[in-house]
Structures are given as structure tokens and as C-alpha cells.
Amino acid sequence: MTISMSGKRGLVMGVANERSIAWGIAQALHEAGAELAFSYQGEQLKRRVEPLMAGIGSDILVEADVTDDASLDAAFATLAERWGTIDFLVHAIAFSDKSELAGRFCDTSRANFQTSLNVSCYSFIDVSRRAAALMPDGGSLITLTYQGSQKVIPFYNVMGVAKAALESATRYLANDLGPQGIRVNAISPGPMKTLAGAAVTGARRTFKHAETNAPLRANATLAAVGGTAVWLCSDAGAFTSGEVVHVDGGYHIIGMPRPDMMPP
């Protein structure tokens, strides 16, 4: 079955460069026929996003810093003015101070706890409410999470707590917005080589470990995550809501590393 997103339009939040998960998702949605708008954080990233979106014929670009209400007000007002309604929103946004994605979790500062949870979790609640107001005929909301929410991953620290909160928020949002025909899901890819991914100490080793031990012996590609996003945003995913969908080559089912790869 070929999934078509023809006639559907939505906002993609979180493209920083061509390696961003949001960009992989945008490409897949575009290939399936969707019309896309993009948001960016700050002038520096605007210069990165502009040529990418131009390459797929998109012309709606809004600034959106998720810590700034005025910026989100303006972004969603522009979207409402240009399109009136939307069918989907992709939230691929997270942040934590790099210095705390190292060392012990118990040394997490109050300030970085608040920042990490604000940017990486609260922002999804905030943009979901704003997007839902533009979805009179229902729609699909997607966020990105990571298995460090459920199991301890070295140095993922406060981001693990933020992702646990995000996954829980996904379920509460799904319950609130379901009666409006809006589905809310999280995609959980394994480790990927992006700017945010590289901020976690030992990222390269984590990547290699997951690749070696995942049943499929590979980490997710941007295209694989994009394909899952297309399914969740399309009518093919019409009865899936409140889920965390793993796109990690099956890594999350593994209980211990492969014995043949361990020192004798």
C-alpha cells in the first residue's frame, strides 16, 4: 500500500540542518505529497532551514522559540493566516545543557532541570494545544522521544526524565484531544547522528552499542523515522493514538549485550 499525504498540510518544528530527524520526516512527508510549513529557532538556524525548505517547494517559515510565548503566538497566527487549518504537526525539539549530559544524574541542577523539561516536554503540550485549535477536522501530532526515558542510558541523565514526562504527556494529550479526532503519538528512534545526539557524552559508543546489539544490527535512518511519521500522520494510522512507536531496529527488546561481542 502506498501511503498518500496528498491534500494534507502541517508544521514541522525542529529542523536545524540536513541531519535533523525533523528534516528526515519532512522529506518523507513531502515525498508522500504533503504540503509543509517550517519553524526555526534563531537567525543562525534560519539560514540553514531556508535552502532546505526551498528545495522541496515550501514557502512558509516562521520563527518559534518554544520558551517564548510571544514567538509561538506569532508563529501560529501566521500559520492560521496562511492556511486557516492544518492536518499535522511534528515536534522534534529538545534541549539540555551539554555540561549536564555528562557525569552523574544526581548532580542535575534545578535550573537545567527546569530548562530541559520546559523545552523538551512542556513545549509539546503548548504547541499541541495551539495546533489543535487549527484542526477542526481532526489531525495528528507527533513528537520524538528516546529509550533513555524507560531505561538508564549512560549520561542521558535529565533528558531521560524529560523524555519520560514527554511520553506521559503524549498519553494525556491523546486522551484530551481524541474526542476532536486528533491523534497524538511519539516516535522513539535509536541513537542518531545529529547535533542534539552528539551533545550526550559517549554518543559514539552508544551508537555503536545499539547498532551491534539491535536485532536488525543497524540504527534507524532518517528515511526509516520519516516513513513511520508518514504512517502516523496519514489515514493509514487512523486508529493509533497515545503510542510510543520504536524505530530502533528492535534494540529496546534486548535484555543483555550479545555474548559474542563481550570480552571472554
Site for ligand NAD in 14-73 (CB under 6 A): 14-16, 20-22, 41, 45, 64-67
Active site residue 172: no
Site for ligand NAD in 124-153 (CB under 6 A): 144-146
CB of 45 to ligand NAD, least distance (A): 5
- Give a three-class secondary structure readout of the chain: CCCCCCCCEEEEECCCCCCCHHHHHHHHHHHCCCEEEEEECCHHHHHHHHHHHHHCCCCEEEECCCCCHHHHHHHHHHHHHHHCCCCEEEECCCCCCHHHCCCCHHHCCHHHHHHHHHHHHHHHHHHHHHHHCCCCCCEEEEEECCHHHCCCCCCCHHHHHHHHHHHHHHHHHHHHHHHHCEEEEEEEECCCCCHHHHCCCCHHHHHHHHHHHCCCCCCCCHHHHHHHHHHHHCHHHCCCCCCEEEECCCHHHCCCCCHHHCCC
- Rounded least distance, CB 195 to ligand NAD, Å: 3
Is 245 a binding residue for ligand NAD by CB under 6 A? The answer is no
Q: Is 21 one of the annotated binding-site residues?
A: yes
Contact between 160 and ligand NAD per CB under 6 A:
no
CB 163 within 8 A of CB 148: yes
Whether 66 has a binding-site annotation, put simply, is yes
At closest approach, how far in Å is the CB of 87 from ligand NAD?
A: 21
Nearest distance in Å: CB 4, ligand NAD: 25
Within 73-92, which residues bind ligand NAD (CB under 6 A)? Answer: 92
Cα–Cα distances in angstroms (integers) from residue 61 to residues 29, 40, 51, 116, 235, in the given order: 17, 7, 11, 25, 26
Q: For ligand NAD, what does the binding mask look like between residues 222 and 241, x meaning CB under 6 A?
A: --------------------
3 assigned ligand-binding residue? no
Candidate list 94, 135, 182, 245; residue touching ligand NAD; CB under 6 A: 94
Identify which of residues 174 and 196 has a Cβ nearer to ligand NAD in the complex.
196
Contact positions toward ligand NAD, by CB under 6 A?
14-16, 20-22, 41, 45, 64-67, 92-95, 119, 144-146, 189, 191-192, 194-197
Output the known binding site: 14, 20-21, 41, 65-66, 93, 163
Output the known binding site for NAD(+): 14, 20-21, 41, 65-66, 93, 163
Query: Among all residues, which ones are annotated catalytic?
Result: 146, 156
